[in-house]
Every structure is written in structure tokens, then in C-alpha cells.
Amino acid sequence: MKRWIMVIASLVCLAACSQDTEPQTDKAENHVDEVVIGHNAIENADRFQAFSKRVSQKQKDEIRIMQRTIEGDPIYQDVRFDGKKYEYTHDNREDAYGSKEVTKDSCKDFRVIETNTETTAFLEKCENRIDSITLFTLSYNAAKEDRFDFLLKYGENLEKVIDTNKVELPNKEKNIVFKNMIYINLFKDKKLEKSCSESNMQYELTVWINQGKENYNWYDCDTGKDAKDLSGLAETIIGVYEHR
């Protein structure tokens, strides 16, 4: 009898413990409003640009920026604009080599500075520090890469060609193209499916960066976001080449 009482008590204890334990959430899983910054990459750049536009118009908004350490651990930065000031939160509790703490600040200004080689976003005039808070920096300086070339073929039969392997472009023009590639997160897998039966324009783009190589084929009538992003990139390449 005592044995059965002990078994029942153990089961009750296990049930109670399982109810009291909150399921752990994976913070590294991308949120809708999360902008992910990586090497030569930004995911959800449209969301960041929308945030920048809204706060410039004094509209309330908030955004999360996630970056990973060399080891792959996520670090989060939350910025919430209430119409007057920016509430900032920095969370590195998932960084194995970090201080594992959450720090907060309140800042008056948000700025984005774009040059021909990089874009930097930061907060200024903060309560708890003299210097500004750098949210992220994106570099697109082609001259710093071991190799940066692209081959674009376009036309009804891919008869038009722009090839930087044969025709050298100045670094300034290359950087414009490189920046566009980063902002559409070119080096992430793309979903490209021909969604139209007839098209007078098709594209083929090959990109070499350092030791890597990517190739894409699509049509101008494709309606997917990735195809539209690539068509915009193709227009940038054509424009840069024609005005070189």
C-alpha cells in the first residue's frame, strides 16, 4: 500500500512540475519585424527602411535588429520610438562569451549615414553615454574583396551582355551594384519560378565574390518578390554600365 502511495505522489509531483515549467522560446527565430544583419547581408531591409521613414515623420514604430557573433550566438537590439524619443534595449544573454545582460538607454536622435562604401545606423544624444550607439554597419566596398565581378545577360535571347571580367568598372560604380546586392540579400537562396507563359525579356546573372559564385535565371514578367528584386538589381547594373 505504501508503495502505491509513493508512486501516486511521484506522478502528481511530475505533473505539477511540468505545468509550472514555461516552454522555452527560441529568440533566434526571426520575428516579423526583425532585421537580421550578417556579413555582406541584411534580411528584411524593407522593414528597416520603413522604420527609418516612419520615425523621420515622427510616427511611432519599433524594430528589432539581430546580429550573430562569430560563434553564431544572437545579439538583439530593440529600438522603440514613441514619437519623441527612442527607447533602446541591448540583449546579449544568448552570447556564450558575452556579459549575459540586458542594458537599456533612452536617446533623442536616430540617424542613418550612407556613403559610397558603407551604411551606418546609430542613436545619438543618449542618457547613459556620451558617444552614440551604433546599431549596425553594412560595408559594400568592392575594393576590399579579393574578387567582385558580375556577368549579366539580358534580352529576348540573352543577347545583351555586361561582363566586368572583360570591361572594368570603377570601384564607385561597383559599390553601387554591391550595395544593391546586399540590400536584396542576394546571397540567400532565391525562389525563382516562371509565373508567366510569354515574356520578351529574360535575365541571367552570375556573381563572383571572393571564392564564391552564384547564378540566377528569371523573366521580367515573374511576379515573385525575389524576381522583382533581381530585376531591380539588373536595372541598376544596366544604369551603372550605361553611365560609366
Which of 185, 166, 164 has the alpha carbon at shortest distance from 237? 164
**Given this model, what pLDDT does residue 197 score?**
67
Alpha helices in the chain (DSSP H): 2-20, 45-56, 171-183, 225-242
Cα(135)–Cα(126) distance, rounded to whole angstroms?
Answer: 13
**Given this model, what pLDDT does residue 196 score?**
72
**Given this model, what pLDDT does residue 10 score?**
45
**Given this model, what pLDDT does residue 185 score?**
93
Please, what is the average pLDDT of the chain? 87
Buried-state track 35-54, b at ≥16 Cβ within 10 A, e below 16: bbbbebbbbbbebbeebeee
* 201 Cβ neighbours under 8 A, 6+ residues apart: 154, 155, 156, 219, 220, 221
For the chain, list residues with pLDDT below 50: 1-28
The count of C-alpha atoms lying within 13 angstroms of the C-alpha of 92, restricted to the half-sphere facing its C-beta, is 14
